[in-house]
Structure 1
Amino acid sequence: MAKDVETGGEYTTKDYTDPPPAALIDVEEITKWSLYRAVIAEFVATMLFLYVTVATVIGYKHQSDPNVNTTDAACSGVGILGIAWAFGGMIFILVYCTAGISGGHINPAVTFGLFLARKVSLIRAVLYIIAQCLGAICGVGLVKGFQKSYYVRYGGGANELSSGYSHGTGLAAEIIGTFVLVYTVFSATDPKRNARDSHVPVLAPLPIGFAVFMVHLATIPITGTGINPARSFGAAVIYNKDKAWDDHWIFWVGPFIGAGIAALYHQFVLRASAAKAMGSSYRSNM
């Protein structure tokens, strides 16, 4: 148990307890309905996320097509800003809806980062990633089913490295973008922060969604913004053209590296987990 010191006499902070690390392999977890309910929630949330966001991308490309809108195509549709809002807004909504059930990951990179930090077990992490990828495929499949002609014509919302950018630049964009997202997830859900700032009603999904929004503004011109392997994988599977697969590895390797760095930075630098563990071990041997 740890307690934060009251500052300035104005606010009283709460005691907090860091939850124990999740078991690496929790066999008992497989027998619990709560696990499968969480997996279903991840599937449905990722499906909805991909449906709304990819439909937004397709709609924007159609509205701004000079062959369709001959008068003012450049200013038609939601624009890059609107696409970024669609991604960030949907993450805010879906994390808010599912956080109490599954944790609201909706992203294999987030799940991977939380697994490295021992926030979820290996079994839960694997099932989440499978559910997220299947949900993404179904979500993009819905877009194609409802808008098949537009879907094929406008690239299916698939991520690809933009012309003029090297593979290194695209990989760096995905690493840094995912780092920002996963770092925000750790900070927004940190029990110590929640206790210290208990007088400030911070809604965790809000900064997470806003992080997604900001990263999209920076990286849409480079990679179309992946930072979510399930999002990239679902679009690539349904579109299934060469350009969707050519640089697909970037949208797995980059997010996983970024998530790993964010987990290590938060746990071992900001929270100094390694130092705490060594100190506890030292005291127990005294």
Structure 2
Amino acid sequence: FREWMQFAKLKSMAGEEDPTIMSPVELFRRYLESLPQDIPAKEEIRSGKFWAAVRTEFMGTLLLVLLITSSIMLPSCIPKHQLCCQGNSTRDCCDLNMALYFQSLKGSLVYGLAMATLIQCMGNISGGHFNPAITICMVVTRHISLLRATLYIIIQCFGGLIGTAILYGLNPYARDNQFGATVPVDGITATEAFGIEFMMTFLVSLSTMSNLEPNRKDCFTKSLSIGFTYTLSYLFGYHFTGASMNPA
């Protein structure tokens, strides 16, 4: 211990501070200084890359909403959340339940694959958020500026609306399925639905933020790992809330 203290003292005299003997305040200050500095708003808004990123978020969210909502559409003869068959045979009831479970499996695969594909294709331009919840995480951790986050969220919501409008024109079952709206099933209270959606969104946010860690040395594809997280979260919450995970 005495030798270690002498070594730390020598490093201090040489101008090299040992992080193990820094105060928590000093460590936190060093962390804040290590974060990327915000670009001035006037300079950022004049950048062509900035507007390219905004357009990318619009197109990515549009495609995401279009693909996911189209994949969970059911014919009008099969109610989305009908889990029992009144007046029908046991076999018909089992067939309906099986169809709904396969529907959730298909939706989870489409959600995960769509996110992985869009992040892989567009992530180098905008970061591949396509989700206001992820954008909020990014601005809180100072990975993006408040100006960029605000425009991202606005354009993501607008892209979701345009994607729904396109779906209305292409899918004949859109109106019968409330345009793919995610609503809690009967018996789930608003508090329970909020808790389920919170846990799903927390999981995908955790996966996204962990993949931004610069010290990671694993070679697994980041876009694929995030896509798997969306698939897992969808399977967890679909039969309770419809598994939105995305305010847009």
* Smaller-chain TM-score bracket: 0.7 to 0.9
Instruction: Please give the alpha-carbon distance, in whole angstroms, between the structure 2 residues aligned to 1:51 and 1:130.
Output: 18
| Structure 2 portions without partners, runs of 5+ | 1-32, 80-91
Aligned position for 1:45: 60
* RMSD (Å) for aligned C-alpha atoms: 2.3
Aligned position for 1:251: none
Please say if residues 95 and 205 of structure 1, whose CA atoms lie closer than 8 Å, have aligned partners that are also in contact: yes
Residue identity opposite 1:36 in structure 2: W
Q: 1:64 to 1:75 in 2, by over 3 A?
A: farther
Aligned position for 1:21: 36
Deviations 1:96-117 (A, max 9, x none): 1111000000000000001000
**How far did residue 24 of structure 1 move?**
7.8
Q: 1:22 to 1:163 in 2, by over 3 A?
A: farther
TM-score when normalising by structure 1: 0.66
Residue identity opposite 2:215 in structure 1: K
In the TM superposition, 1:171-190 aligns within 5 A as 171-190=194-213
Aligned position for 2:246: 228
Please say if residues 64 and 75 of structure 1, whose CA atoms lie closer than 8 Å, have aligned partners that are also in contact: no
Instruction: Please give the alpha-carbon distance, in whole angstroms, between the structure 1 residues aligned to 2:34 and 2:122.
Output: 20
Aligned position for 1:164: 187
| Percent identity of paired positions between Structure 1 and Structure 2 | 29
Residue identity opposite 1:114 in structure 2: M
Aligned position for 1:105: 129
Instruction: Please give the alpha-carbon distance, in whole angstroms, between the structure 2 residues aligned to 1:156 and 1:99.
Output: 27
Aligned position for 1:253: none
Q: 1:62 to 1:176 in 2, by over 3 A?
A: same
Deviations 1:91-147 (A, max 9, x none): 000011111000000000000001000000011001111111111111111111112
Aligned position for 1:124: 148
Residue identity opposite 2:191 in structure 1: G
**How far did residue 27 of structure 1 move?**
2.5
Please say if residues 119 and 223 of structure 2, whose CA atoms lie closer than 8 Å, have aligned partners that are also in contact: yes
Give the counterpart of 1:95 among 105, 110, 119.
Answer: 119
Instruction: Please give the alpha-carbon distance, in whole angstroms, between the structure 2 residues aligned to 1:134 and 1:125.
Output: 14
Aligned position for 2:16: none
In the TM superposition, 1:1-286 aligns within 5 A as 20-23=35-38, 26-58=41-73, 61-62=74-75, 65=78, 72-76=95-99, 78-148=102-172, 150-193=173-216, 197=217, 200-230=218-248
Please say if residues 22 and 119 of structure 1, whose CA atoms lie closer than 8 Å, have aligned partners that are also in contact: no
Please say if residues 25 and 123 of structure 1, whose CA atoms lie closer than 8 Å, have aligned partners that are also in contact: no
Structure of greater Rg: 2
**How far did residue 75 of structure 1 move?**
4.0
| Structure 1 portions without partners, runs of 5+ | 1-17, 231-286
Aligned length: 203
Deviations 1:42-76 (A, max 9, x none): 00011011111111111xx229828xxx8954444
TM-score when normalising by structure 2: 0.76
Q: 1:221 to 1:166 in 2, by over 3 A?
A: same
Please say if residues 90 and 209 of structure 1, whose CA atoms lie closer than 8 Å, have aligned partners that are also in contact: yes
Residue identity opposite 2:130 in structure 1: I
